[in-house]
């Protein structure tokens, strides 16, 4: 998992270069603005860290957080690509599409990790029994 995060960090450098190319093609200067959605995810991580979680739970949290971030970024790239195409900025759309493909690949990797790092595997036998019995009760109520 650590290797996947490092790989994506390197990819992000290439993504930033492509974004800079987009701004150049559009004749615009990038603005330094805060993304409130990502800020919320950062605050969520800080609050989680204050709970002094175990290493196993940190892994679960990090994978979940990465999935949230990648999903957010994918939605943003899809919107930007649609706008670029509408405005007939073909090269900009191509550059953004490259970034989108990388984000989708990273999301797929994180989803694979999430299947391997499951909270149930970190529960004690007693916690698993309780979770199973309460799930069975919920299923009976739903029927």
Across the chain, the runs of DSSP E, i.e. the strands, are none
Question: With 90 as the cut, is the pLDDT of residue 119 above it?
Answer: no
Put residue 52 in one of left, alpha, beta given phi > 0 → left and psi -120 to 50 → alpha. left
- What 8-state DSSP symbol labels residue 87? T
Of 45 and 131, the one with more pLDDT:
45
What pLDDT does 138 receive?
46
Considering only 46-50, 79-83, 99-103, which range has the smallest mean pLDDT? 46-50
Of 102 and 5, the one with more pLDDT:
102
Tokens standing for residue 95: 């550059």
Give me the mean pLDDT over the 111-121 stretch: 77
Specify whether the CB–CB gap between 85 and 11 falls below 8 A: no
What pLDDT does 133 receive?
63
């Amino acid at each position: 998992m650590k290797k996947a995060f490092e790989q994506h960090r390197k990819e992000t450098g290439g993504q930033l270069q492509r974004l800079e190319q987009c701004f150049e093609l559009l004749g615009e200067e990038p603005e330094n603005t805060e993304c409130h959605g990502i800020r919320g995810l950062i605050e969520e991580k800080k609050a989680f860290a204050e709970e002094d979680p175990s290493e196993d739970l940190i892994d679960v949290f990090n994978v979940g957080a990465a999935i949230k971030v990648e999903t957010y970024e994918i939605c943003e790239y899809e919107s930007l690509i649609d706008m670029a195409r509408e405005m007939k900025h073909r090269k900009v759309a191509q550059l953004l599409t490259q970034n989108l493909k990388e984000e989708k690949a990273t999301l797929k990797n994180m989803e694979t990790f999430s299947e391997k790092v499951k909270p149930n595997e970190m529960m004690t036998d007693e916690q698993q029994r309780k979770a199973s019995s309460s799930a069975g009760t919920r299923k009976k109520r739903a029927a």
